[in-house]
Structure 1
Amino acid sequence: MDGPQEQAKYPVSAALAGPYGHPFHPILVTVPIGAWVASLVFDLASWLVVDPGFLAQGSVWLIGLGVLGAVAAALVGLLDLFAIPTGTPAFRLGLVHMTLNLAVTGAYGVNFAWRQADYGQPGSVAVGMLTLSAASMIVLAVSGYLGGKLAYRYGVRVADETTQATGYTARDHPPGR
C-alpha cells in the first residue's frame, strides 16, 4: 500500500479520534442523525394528532440533542480529515462532507432558536420549521452518502486489507467439531 493511502487509515490522535481500525466519528454521528430523524418524525406526527404540543416540545429537545452530538462528531471528524493527505480527491471530498455537515448543524441550530418562541404552545410545528427540518435532512443524507464514500470507497480510517484478511482466516478444527 502506498504512503498517502496508508496515512489516511491511521488516526492523528488515537486517544481523541479512536485507534486504528476503530474510529470514533462513525459512532458519534449516530447521535445527531438519530435525534434529527426522530425530530422530523415528531414534527410530522404533530400534524396528525389532536394534542400535538408534546410532540413539538419533544422535537425541540431532539434538535438540541442533535446539535450537541453534531459538535462532538465534527470535532472527531476534523481529526479524521487531518489524516487525509491534502490535494487528494479524498481530502477534497472530506472538505465537502465537512462543509455540508456544518451547514446542516447550523440550520438545525437556527431551527432550535426559532422554535424557542413557540416552545410550550399547544399547536403543531409551524410549516416553516418543518420545511427547514426536511431540507436539512435531505442535505444530511447527501453528506452521509459522501461520508460513506470516504470510508468504503477511499478507505479513510478503515483497516488495510492485510488486517481485514485476519477476519477471514479459518481456524483448523478437528473433524466433527
Structure 2
Amino acid sequence: MSGYDASVVARVVVGVSGSLGSVAALRWAGALARRLGAELWPVLAWEPPGGDPAGRRSPAAAVPAEEWQRLAGGRLVAVLEEVFGERGPGVPMHALVVRGTPGRALVAVADRENDLLVVGAGRRGLQRAFSGRVCRHCLGHACCPVLAVPPSPLESQLLTVHRRNAWHLPMDTRGL
C-alpha cells in the first residue's frame, strides 16, 4: 500500500466464509482496524445451493431464503467468536450477511474511497496469489484499495496431511 495514506481509512471490510484463507484475512483485517482506528465490517455472502436459478428448481428451494440467511448468520457469528473470542476485535464492528456472490457483495459493501477491502488470496502459494475468483473480482472492480492476504504457511502442510490421510498413505510423524 505504498503511496496510500492509511490514516484516511474509516472502514476495513473483510470477506468471511469460514475457510482458512478467510480466517487469515479476518485476523489481518482486525489488526489493521485496531492500528488504523477504523471500524471492522466482516461480510459473509451467501447464495442458495447451486445459485439463484438452481435454487428455484431444486429440492433446496423448499427451504425458505430466511432459513439460508439465518444459517449464514450463524456461520458468521461462529467464525467471529472463533477468531476474536468474547472480547471482540477491539474496534467497532458491523457484521453483515449479504445474499449474492462473494465478489460482488464485497465490492458493493466496500463502496467508499476511504474503505479498505481485505480478502483471502487463495491457497496456491505466493506465485499464484491472485488465482481466486473472489480476489480477482475485488481487485478488478473495487473503488477502494484491496489487500489480498496470502494463506498461512501451515495451510499447505495441513492440506498435504489431509491428502495423505485421504489416500491412506503413511505419514512421517517424527517431525511433528
Given the two structures, how large is their TM-score scaled by the length of structure 2?
A: 0.29
Which has the larger share of strand? 2
